[in-house]
Amino acid sequence: MFSVFQKLFGSKPKEEMPIIIEDSAPKKDIEGAKRKVYDQIWGVLEEEGVYLSRSGYDLYPRIKKSLRKINEVIDNSKESLVANESELARLKEKILDHKEERKLSMLTYDVSELIGRSKYEDPSVLSHKAIIQILRWYDLS
């Protein structure tokens, strides 16, 4: 009976059909990488004591130094933070752009303003707001 079916339709019985299992490419854990970068940025801001000072004279250099370190952190993690080559090219461009002194000064001023407006909030909330703002500059949030 099966030989007639095989001649008509040209198929093999199920037990003879080979099972092909394809290896799936490992997916990038972009969200996990973003969490790691978030934690590293948090660490940089805490290390520099950005939230300890409320005066503009002391705060501005601390933030500027922190933003330089944060730029390096993002630069070191850039391949794991994006899904494709076009996003990687855009991120590389932003990293180079944020290394320029003029742009770095503008970003430092933005973070100083954010801290100045929110100086009475809990430091963890303030830190979260600052980190989210920094990640937005890199289009990572």
In this predicted structure, what is the pLDDT of residue 28? 66
7-36 pLDDT tens trace: 656 655 555 556 665 544 455 688 888 999
Average pLDDT over residues 77-104: 91
Q: Which of 42-56, 76-90, 101-115, 117-131 has the lowest mean pLDDT?
A: 42-56
Q: What is the pTM of this model?
A: 0.74
Q: How far apart are CA 71 and CA 130, in angstroms?
A: 14
In this predicted structure, what is the pLDDT of residue 25? 43
Q: How far is CA 45 from CA 20, 28, 106, in A?
A: 51, 27, 18
Share of the chain above pLDDT 90, in %: 40
What amino acid is encoded at 57 in this protein?
Y
